[in-house]
Amino acid sequence: MEHNVQLPLDAKAIMAILPHRYPFLMVDKIIALDPGKSITGIKNVTMNEMYFLGHFPGEPVMPGVLILEGMAQTGGILASLADPALTGRLVYFAGVDKARFRRIVYPGDQMVYKLEMVRQKGRVIKMAGKTYVDDQLVTEAELMASYP
């Protein structure tokens, strides 16, 4: 059974699904969803984000680990909306494989996360994800999540 979802999902709707809050909510909007199969989310990168104070002074670069976190959060939304039994439950980031960073992300960029469900076995979910800026591949990885 699937949730009935009205797209796009804005930040308020995302926060009703994910437990993350400022400064760690890494997805701003969900623009496409095929429940249980795929999802597309957006993150607008702005200079106002506090990690740019230290990463790096004078040369702000989006931390790769936070790009992966945004992909994982988007995948968590996909998992939660695919299975109503996960509503209100935490979905934990359990692993990452084959992560590659292809391009630097700067303030002013809009990242587009695209994730596809690979499989679910028991309480472990595996997804393939890619992040794009201006239709250019930025990051790709296989992500795993689990839930208690």
Residues 86-126: tens digit of each pLDDT: 767 888 999 999 999 999 999 999 999 999 999 999 889 99
* Residue 3 lies inside a defined structural domain of this protein: no
Mean pLDDT of 126-134: 98
Total of domains in the chain: 1
Would you state the pLDDT for residue 3?
A: 58
Answer whether residue 6 is part of any domain: no
According to the model, what pLDDT value does residue 8 have?
A: 97
Within a domain: 128: yes
* pLDDT 10s digits, 3-22: 578 999 999 999 999 999 99
The span from the CA of 74 to the CA of 51, in Å, is 20
Q: Is 33 exposed, middle or buried (0-12, 13-18, 19+ CB in 10 A)?
A: buried
Structural domain span for residue 60: 11-146
Indicate which residue of 29, 55, 103, 126 is catalytic.
Answer: 55
Is residue 102 one of the residues assigned to a domain? yes
Taking residues 142-147, report their average pLDDT: 94
Residue 3 a catalytic site member: no
For the domain that residue 87 is a member of, what is the CATH number? 3.10.129.10
Tell me what pLDDT residue 1 has.
38
Token pair 């400022």 is found at 22
Q: Are 42 and 79 in contact (CB under 8 A)?
A: no
- Asked whether residue 124 is domain-assigned, the answer is yes
Does a structural domain hold residue 23? yes
What digits encode the pLDDT tens for the residues 39-53?
A: 999 999 999 999 999
Task: Kindly give, in sequence order, each residue whose CB lies less than 8 Å from that of residue 86, ignoring residues fewer than 6 positions away.
Answer: 79, 80, 147
> Does residue 148 surpass a pLDDT of 90?
no
